Structure 1
């Protein structure tokens, strides 16, 4: 199992690096933007007050004052979340389904290892990659967003926000893994996973627009650890437990389905 785990990390490192480069580019661009527009942030915030609510929600500005360091950080989290969450869903699909797509399943799944051991090793490697991704997001956000804004008092909020991003990534990874365990091929699994993540965002936008987020937020994982609510209340124990339940149940079910599926091309 250890051999498969490290082999999986090696095979997925290039993909991880591509996504990490996107994170660095996004946060780096934001740092430049905030520094250049720092003096004009007050006017931008006043201008944003006149925007329709749906526009504010779509651009991560709902309930946020972008002319404050905390507000600017919260806005940036919205955009880094997009990368983090879609990467997590894609990782769930990529973990096992790619073996069938690339024709390597016949080699891997006929090795003298239990199929369950192979699948759990892949899950472990994927979780490691997601951890690296979340830590990188945290470091880049601190260096490129918090420090240039000049308010290190929000570091505590930043740490728990990063933890919330990681938990959400695990939920969405599990979603992708579960969908791929039920789908017949990689392309179908990828399509349905991306649509599912997009649907989660649509539900969140709808809840934010109607003001029903507190009641129905459990319907969308991307809303479990909203940066605005985290800034005010911290991580919600209910959503931590809910996320852990989804992760454990989803991975166990997906591993069970993969164990019974015919993954060897005929």
Structure 2
């Protein structure tokens, strides 16, 4: 299992570097932007107040005052999370279903390991990649957003929102893994997973726009640890429990399905 875990980390290294590069570019651009516009943030916030609510929701600015360090961080976290969540969903598909894409499924599952052990080794490798991704997001957000804005009081909020992002990533990864175990092939699994993440975002946008139906947040993992809510109230224990239920049930079911799946159909 350890050998498969380490090999999986090597095989996914290039993909992880590509996604991390996107985060570095995004946060680097934000640093330049915040430094250049630091003295004009109050005017930008006043201008944003005249925008239709739907525009504010779509750009992660609803209920966020970009003229403060916390508001600017929350707005930037929205875009970082966008990359993080699609990466997590894609990683869920890529973890096992890619063996069908590259024609290596029969070779891999003919090794002297239980299929379930192989699947779980890949799961742990993916969680490791997500942890590296979240840590990088946290470091880059601190260096490129918090430091330029000069408000160290939001470091605690920064840490807890990053943890929330990491948990949400694992939830979306587990859902992607489950979809890949049920889909007939890699292409179908990829499409269904990307559609699922987009549907989660559509639901999240709708709930954010309505603003009075937070009891429906359980319908989309995107809302479990939403940055504005977590900044104000911390991590909700109920959503932590719900996340664990989704993660464990999805991973165990995916492992069960792959254990009994026809290699030729993988």
Common fold by TM > 0.5 = yes
| Displacement after TM superposition at 1:213 (Å) | 4.2
Aligned residue number for residue 182 of structure 2: 182
Distance 1:158 1:210 in 2: 26
TM-score by length of 2: 0.98
Residue number in structure 2 paired with 1:62: 62
Aligned partner of residue 12 in structure 2, secondary structure: helix
1:247 has 2:256 as partner: no
> Which residue pairs with 1:235 in the alignment?
235
CA distance in 2, matches of 1:253, 1:151: 45
For residues 19 and 185 of structure 1, the distance between their equivalents in structure 2, rounded to whole angstroms, comes to 24
Counterpart CA distance in 2 for 1:108 and 1:265 is 14
C-alpha separation in 2, matches of 1:74 and 1:211: 18
Runs of 4+ with >6 A deviation: none
Partner of 2:29: 29
Q: Assess if the C-alpha contact under 8 Å between 2:184 and 2:265 holds in 1.
A: no
TM-score, normalization by structure 1 = 0.98
Deviation at 1:212, TM superposition (A): 3.3
Which runs of structure 2 are paired with 1:31-110 in the superposition (5 Å)? 31-110=31-110
Give 1:214 deviation, angstroms.
1.8
2:10 match: 10
Q: How many Å separate the matches in 2 of 1:71 and 1:265?
A: 49
Gaps of 5+ in 1: none
Q: Alpha carbon RMSD of aligned pairs, Å?
A: 1.0
The 8 Å contact of residues 93 and 177 in structure 2, kept in 1 or not, is answered as yes
Q: Cα distance, 1:263 vs. partner?
A: 2.1
- Give the match for residue 204 of structure 1: 204
CA contact (8 A) 1:105 1:263 kept: yes
1:194 is displaced (CA, Å) by 0.3
CA distance in 1, matches of 2:228, 2:211: 14
Partners of 2:261 and 2:178 in 1: CA distance: 13
SS in 1 for 2:232: helix
Number of corresponding residues: 266
Which residue matches 1:220? 220
